[in-house]
Amino acid sequence: MIKAIYPGTFDPPTNGHLDLIERSSRLFDYVIVAIGEQSTKKPLFSIQERLDMLRELCAPFPNVEVDHFSGLLVHYAREKGVTIIIRGLRAVSDFEYEMQMALMNRKLAPDIETVFLMTSAKWSFLSSSLVKEVALLGGCVKQLVPPLVEKYLKEKRKNEGHQG
């Protein structure tokens, strides 16, 4: 059984993330979508909110599990028996950073491979950061995120006291 992990902050999950999750679920026997707890980023959504969103969004994929981790990804991957790390590439600009991460992970865990998947062209401009900014400023993100995530963003905007 080939187990893969698709790590990220998923703050919030976008249609681009969902595209990669769906495609990964067809490529690998088992996929763990893993939310990384990063101390350097200030997320809009709590770990629990992101877990709840992703679990609902991934429900149609029986071979996909949603989890979270802290610390080194390769340590978590080994703990879960994972041999593949999935990373999405949107543009050439992503490649340099992703290559550095893949090489560092390979240095730390030579038995774990990184597989890069190109995003679908229609999502190549999409990032969680852009979605958050547009949503919190009152813009429409309807075609960028699943309806569930749009609902969470609207609620967050209302609770954070943004106008509109």
Domains along the sequence of the chain with CATH? 3-124 (3.40.50.620)
Instruction: Report the C-alpha gap between 35 and 16 in whole angstroms.
Output: 16
The answer on pLDDT for 163 being more than 60 is no
pLDDT recorded at residue 38: 74
Q: Which of 143, 144, 164 is nearest to 12 (CA)?
A: 144
The answer on pLDDT for 9 being more than 60 is yes
pLDDT recorded at residue 91: 80
Query: With bands split at pLDDT 50, 70 and 90, how would you rate the model's confidence at 161?
Result: low
Q: Are strands 113-118 and 84-89 parallel, antiparallel or unpaired?
A: parallel
The sheet with strand 84-89 has its strands ordered as: 64-69, 30-36, 3-8, 84-89, 113-118
pLDDT in tens, 116-139: 999 998 998 889 999 999 998 999
pLDDT recorded at residue 20: 97
pTM, entire model: 0.92
Q: What percent of the chain has pLDDT over 90?
A: 80
The answer on pLDDT for 147 being more than 90 is yes
- Higher per-residue confidence, 104 vs 94: 104
pLDDT recorded at residue 90: 86
Active site members: 17, 41, 90, 128
